[in-house]
Structure formats: C-alpha cells, structure tokens
Chains A and B, each alone.
Chain A
Amino acid sequence: MVSQSPGSSAGQPGSGPLVVLDNVNKYFGDLHVLQDINLSVARGEVVVIIGPSGSGKSTLCRAINRLEPITSGTISIDGVPLPAEGKALAQLRSDVGMVFQSFNLFAHKTVLQNVTMGPVKVRKMRKAEAEELAMGLLERVGVANQANKLPAQLSGGQQQRVAIARALAMKPKVMLFDEPTSALDPEMINEVLDVMVALAQEGMTMIVVTHEMGFARRAGDRVVFMDSGSIVEEADPDEFFTNPRTDRAKDFLSKILTND
C-alpha cells in the first residue's frame, strides 16, 4: 500500500511514484481476472511483468490507460486518478504510451503520418514541427528510410519500431508494452528489444509484459510475476530468474526454460 496521508507527496504531479495501482480488481463476468492488485512504479523504473498465459498481464497493462475499465480499486498516473470516459481520459492517455503485440499501426496512413497524427491532432502541433519530430524519432528507431510507405509494406520488426516511435511522439510519462515481440519472427526480436533497452537506459518509465528474459535482465529494475490474476512474486530480475521464491514461479520458469 502506498501512503495517501495528507501532506505526503502522492497526489501532486511531478513527485512521488508515477503509476500507482491500489487494490485493483477486475471481473470479466464471473471471471476474477485481476485480484487485489497493488503496484507502484517509480519514475524511471522499468517493471517487467511475467506470468503464464491467461494470468491477467494484458488486462493489467490495458487497465493502466483504461482501455479496460476496472471493477474496483484505483489507478493513478502521476498522482491523478484515471478519469471516466471523456476528454480528460483522452488527455491522460496521451501521456501514457502503449505498444501492442500486433503493432496496430493505422493501416491507411503512411509511417510518417502514423507518427504525426498524435502530435497534430492531440497536441495541436503544427504539421511541419510534427514531421520534424517524427523524422527524428523514426531515425532513432532506425526506420526513417521507410517514412513514406504504408505499414503493410514493412516487416513486423519495422512496424513495431514505428509503433514505438508513434507512442514516443506524444512525449509520454510512461510506456506500456504488451508482449511487443511475441508476434515477431525470431530474427526481428532483437531489433525491437534493442530500441526498448535504449529507451530504458535514457530513463523512460516502462511497464513491459514480456517473456524475454534477456531484456528483463538487461533493462529491468524489477520483475513482477503474475499467476491467476494475482501478483505472486516481485523481485530483482537476476534474483527472480536464478532463485525464484514461490513454487508457482519455479514451475513457470522451468516450463519456459524447457520450451526455449
């Protein structure tokens, strides 16, 4: 639990933890997908969420920008509780970058337009300025030479890097990644992970659902292990992978290790 006592820094933007989940529960019908989740992510922290399929990782990730409304509890970003549906929520979402497993680039827009849409339509930036920003970001993720192509003309790895650039164009406070490499051919995984590691090193606050242990060890500050809708174990990445404390984590790790 995070203290919410008067006079504490929580509740004021610019200080305190960036993302706070307090006693969050989520049901899909009778299915209790998130069970009493408490999680606090500090500024600049990289949290890796790991766990078996169906354990609620995606739902947790999507709850943080309210793509999935929760049943009870509170979620705050930079001290501000998630607003209900409407303009304020849209504004808050613009501060939370999200990268999906299936990229979800706007299929009818060029790579460049994908990246400029948010700055122009949400931040009301001038088009020329947005394009300059976008080209810089595309450069940074290594796909500047594809700027005028449609997403379908790019490889999966390239598309995912564009998706990261699109999210970064909003200058988000925190980035959410939901299995960003699990739809990719193996030879493309590293080009995406490299971009993410660089981002982590630059101090971006990140919440990453992934089974990529290499990434977790290189860039992760903390591993959160989920099973059946609950957080079962939290640990330093090296500690977690070499010396898991709970049986469920041990069991899970033995499975993903033998699968590789």
Chain B
Amino acid sequence: MDLFFDNAPTLWSGFRVTLQLTAVSGLLALALGLALAALRVAPLRPLRAVSMLYVELMRNTPLTLVFFGMVLVAPQFGIIPPLGFWTAVLCLTLYTSAFVSEALRSGINSVGVGQAEAARAIGLTFGQSLRLVILPQAVRTVIPPLINVIIALAKNTSVAAGFAVVELVATGRRLGQAIPGEAVTILGGIALLYLVFTIPAGLLATRLEKKVAFAR
C-alpha cells in the first residue's frame, strides 16, 4: 500500500484527467444527445430516421472501435482529428451522446402524448412544445438514468488510455510496468479512485429515483 501512496501525485494527475474527460465529454454529450433526442421525436420522418440510425450504430459499437475509427481510419479519408485529449473527448462525446439520447427519449415518452398534442394544438412550434411542455416534465424521470450514463462515461475514459491520453488507468499501467510485482496494488488503488467518484454518483441516482417515485 505504501507504494500506492508514494505514487499518489502521479495517480492524482491521472485522476484529474479522468475527471476532465468526464466533465468535458459529459457536457458535450448532453448537448448532442439532446439534439439527437429532439430529432428522434421530430414531426419529419427523415429526421427521425437519421437520429435513430446514429444512435443504434453508436450503441452497438464497442467504444474501442470508435477510438480506432477516429485515430486510424478517419485520417485515411482525409479527416485528421486533433490528437490526445481532444480525440478522446470527441470519441467519448460521439459515443455517450447516443446513450444520453436514449435516456432523454425514454423520458420524453414517459410524458403522455396528450401533452404534446395540446401544446401543438394551441400553436406552439415543435421546438416550443419540447422546451416549454415536454422536457420540463421529462426531467424528473430522466435525471437518474442520465447519472448512470455519466458514471459509465467516467469508466469509459479508461479506453482513452490506449490512445495516448494519460488518464488514470494509463498512469496505473505505466507505474505497474515501472514497478513490476506491485501491479495488483496499483490496480486496486485505481479501482478505489474510480469508486470515490462512481459510488456517490450511483447513490445520488438511487435517491433521486426514490424522490421521483414519491412525486408521482
């Protein structure tokens, strides 16, 4: 365990990258996911189809493949993604937005269809109906699943390790290689650092879920 504490500063900086990746990708994924969810319930069929295609594609692709695609395949088509941190943000955002969209969509569907019809019937546009009537009512049911999406995102930042972004797992691996025999201790420490973040988030999600259940 000493070893873990001796290397705490290195691990801490890895932890910080994890948090930064989670925060930046999380915010961007919320924005993109919201746009995807809006398209998914739009009154025009082609818009719905585009959103559905994107979401299904991303949901059923392993995250590592998204990274591989971005780092190895995209350049062959002349798309040169920025390297390091922002590549990771891009991949994590594209991937996570699909799950955000699904969480939002289930929230939107939990609001009765009559609410949307009444909104349209008084002359609100599609965007206004969504913003003024549907989303405010969807929020309550949507927050717990969204927190779970963000927890998954925090764990998924470890995939960035393989792609030159120095976050927690990558740091641990380098330390493990530098100091063989102590890999288990170090991995254990890393798991702990993750849990420091994910367990409170999980508890928050559960509590909110209960609160929502009461409010109904």
Q: Do A and B bind each other?
A: yes
Q: How many residues of B contact A (CB 8 A)?
A: 20
Tally of chain A residues near chain B (CB < 8 A): 28
**Contact segment of A20-28, A71-79, A98-106, A184-192:** A98-106
- Give the complex CA separation of A92 and B124 in angstroms: 10
Q: Are A106 and B118 in contact (CB under 8 A)?
A: yes
Taking a contact as CB atoms closer than 8 A, the residue among B43, B114, B117, B121 that contacts A85 in the complex is: B43
Looking at the complex, which of A49-57, A114-122, A131-139, A234-242 is the stretch in contact with chain B? A114-122
Question: Chain B binding site: helix, strand, loop or mixed by DSSP?
Answer: helix
Asked if A90 is at the interface of the complex by the 8 Å CB criterion, the answer is yes
Q: Which of B94-137 contact A (CB under 8 A)?
A: 112, 114-115, 117-126, 128, 132-133, 136-137
Q: Are A104 and B115 in contact (CB under 8 A)?
A: yes
Q: Is the CB of B120 within 8 A of A90?
A: yes
Say if the beta carbon of B44 comes within 8 Å of chain A: yes
B-contact 0/1 string along A77-113, CB 8 Å cutoff: 0000000010100111111111010101111100000
Interface pair B123/A91, CB less than 8 Å apart: yes
| Cα separation A143 to B157 with both chains bound (whole Å) | 55
Determine if A154 is an interface residue (Cβ-Cβ < 8 Å): no
Task: Let me know if B114 and A100 touch, CB within 8 A.
Answer: yes
A167 at the interface (CB under 8 A from B): yes
Residues of A with C-beta under 8 A to B43: 85
Q: Which B residues lie at the A interface, using CB under 8 A?
A: 43-44, 112, 114-115, 117-126, 128, 132-133, 136-137
A-B contacts, 18 listed (Cβ < 8 Å): A67-B121, A85-B44, A87-B125, A92-B123, A93-B120, A95-B123, A96-B121, A100-B118, A102-B114, A104-B117, A104-B118, A105-B118, A108-B136, A118-B124, A121-B124, A121-B132, A163-B118, A166-B122
- A-side residues, CB < 8 A to B, are 65, 67, 85, 87, 90-98, 100, 102, 104-108, 117-118, 121-122, 163, 166-167, 170
